[in-house]
Structure formats: structure tokens, C-alpha cells
Structure 1
Amino acid sequence: MDPQEAVSAALLAPLGYAEEPVLERLHARLAAAAERSGDLDITYRTIDTPVGTLLLAATAQGLLRVAYERENHDHVLEKLSARISPRILKSAHRLEPVVRELEEYFSGTRSRFDLPLDLSLSSGYRREVLAHLPRIGYGHTESYAQVALATGNPKAVRAVGTACATNPLPVVVPCHRVVRSDGSAGGYVGGPDAKAALLMLERAV
């Protein structure tokens, strides 16, 4: 149970609401009401995938954050609250299309994502790199040097690496398709095993 759910449970327990399904329904109603009233800026949920449990967070504008467990989901939520808005709540409704497309991707039936994105967490050259990454074809890779050249800054190889390492939307914005010039995988926010799994998934289809 996350901190918000614990608070809800503590408030509802004196009223006799102790069963988890009841708390979940009440929490869902609270989230839906907050979203309808405009009092909710960020919604989040988690999804189990072949590369671990991913945290998904979205604003009304689009998908804002995808985070691996190794990034510490609680820490990611705290940063979103401080940087974007403290009006953040766990809710599945806004993220249903994201979950559906991720499930299709991991099952091998989707090769590109068609989701609105909120790129508020990136700016400057990093955002230029993120804009280029979806242009790397499914099942293909580019080197950091090739991405630097494609974004009009051939000397910015290290900056491309930084942009990939700080990508707020891994998997959906495919920084895993960027590798070293010698063909080796290079670093990845989700770890080397996750990067290898994503590349293998795309090449196997």
C-alpha cells in the first residue's frame, strides 16, 4: 500500500471500511472526482512488464514519466510533485491507453507508440534528441554519434548520451535503440538486462 492509500485506510477504518476492494473503489471515485473538477494534475499507476514493474505518470497533456524500479518509484513521485505539481494521485483511468499500448508492444503486436506526450521534464538539446529517437526504426539502432549528426550537432556525442540517460519516457521514447559506435549496448536507465531484452524483443519480431 502506498502512502496515499495508507492515509485513506487510516481515515476510513473508523467508519468500518477495512476491506481492500472497498478502499480501492473509494480511491477510484476520489480520483475520478478530482480529475473531473480539475483538482488533479498528475495521475500515476504501475504496470508489470517483462522488464520489471514500470511506474507510469501522466498529465492532461499526455504521458509525462515512465520509470523503472531501480529509479525508486517513491523518489520519482516526490520529484514530480516538487517539479510539476503536488496535486498527484494514483488513478488508472487516464493511463488506460498507455497500458494497452505497452501490453501490445511487449506482446510483439505494436512497433510504435501513438500516445500524446508531455515533455515538460526535458528542454533544450535533450528535447531535440528525444524528438529524434522515435525516428529510429523498430528493430534498428543508431550510434550516439549518428544521433548527434542527425540532430545537427555532430560534436555532441556526450550530450546525446546524457539525453538518453535522463530520458523521462524510456521504452515509449526508445533510447534503448541508441548504442555505441562499436555496436555494444552502452548504458541504459533501466539497466543492461532491460536494454538487451528490449533490443531482443524488437529483433525477434
Structure 2
Amino acid sequence: MLVYTKKEIRDLIIAFIVLTICFSIATAGFNHKSIISILPIIIIGVVIGSVSHELGHKYIAMKYSCDAEFKLWPLGLAIAFVTSFFGFVFASPGTVQIHPENRSDEINGRILIAGPMANMGLALVFLAIVALIYPLRFYSGIFHLIYLVSGVGFSVNSFLATFNLFPLYSLDGTKVLKWNAKIWFIAIAIAGIMMLGSIFIGAERMVQIFMGL
């Protein structure tokens, strides 16, 4: 069971709001009508993926009887805001601080792979929704919106999973690789295939291929 402190809830709400603003600016600039029209896509397809990644770490950490609390990183939010003006968002709103710090490589690896796994799981859920909505997407505006949101959600979460599994600097992949190279390779291979599929094929075409269309 996830337990949140008042400070943690505050930090999550701030991160959610700021990331929504940043991704909206990056996508639609300061066009108010465009921002309103893409808000569902931004909130569901993008921001939820970023927050779920951190909560994945927290959930597994608590499974191992560790204290885990999400803490806002003001500089990370500032960087996200600045980069949004250039049409992209470097999203690093905060981190889950886990205690005790003297954990084994295995526990560290399991905790840190949980974030990318959460994104991979969300990506597959979004792809499944795309497949379910595909025949209905032109029947109503609601179905079409769900279809668009899910397509973006699949792409974004595939990217987040792949990016965070790179064994660079403080990314999750560094400690996952240190724990178990085989698991790291399988995870980044699956995430990478999903990401490349979203880039070069697209969720819609992937669904069409699966359906034999």
C-alpha cells in the first residue's frame, strides 16, 4: 500500500501542474485555443507517464520495507520550463528519495527498473486502447480524442522507458545494469523496439499490421 506525506502530495501536485504547462507550451506555444484542445493529450498521454515512473520506484521500494518519498527538484522544473520554449521538454521534476541508502545491488536494481517497467506497462495499455478504439475512432469526437490520447501515450511512455534505461549518469539503467546485465538488456531491448515502432511505424499502423489490414 502506498503511503504519502502531505509534503509529498504537494510536490506531486506541483510537478503535475508544471509539467502540464511545460508540455503545453512546447506543443502549442502560447495559443490558448490550441492549449485547451491538447490538454487531455498532455495530461493523460504525457504527464501521467512522467509521474507514474516515479511512483513505480516508490511502490517497489516500499515493498522492500524502505522509506520512499517523492521530492520536488526545483531546478529540474526550471529546466523543463526553459526547454519548453524550444519545442521540447527535458522533464525531471523530482526524484524518489529512498532510505536506507546502503541497499544491495539487487534491491537497487529492482527498485530502479520499476520506473521504466511502469512506463512500458502504460505504453502497452495505451496501445491496447488504440486497438480497441480503432474501429470506432470516427464515430464520435470522444472516441477520436481517446484514440489520439492513447497514441501519444504509447509513444511517450515507450520513449520514457527507453531513455531511463540508458546506463548514463544517474539514469535508472546504470544501477539496473550493475545489478543484472541480462535483465537490463532484455528490458532496454523491449522498450527500444516499442520506441522505434512508435517512431517509424506509429501506433495506428502497428494496430493495422496486427489486425492484418
More helix per residue: 2
TM-score normalised over the length of structure 2: 0.28
Which structure is richer in relative contact order (CA contacts within 8 A, separation 6 or more)? Answer: 2
TM-score in terms of structure 1 length: 0.29
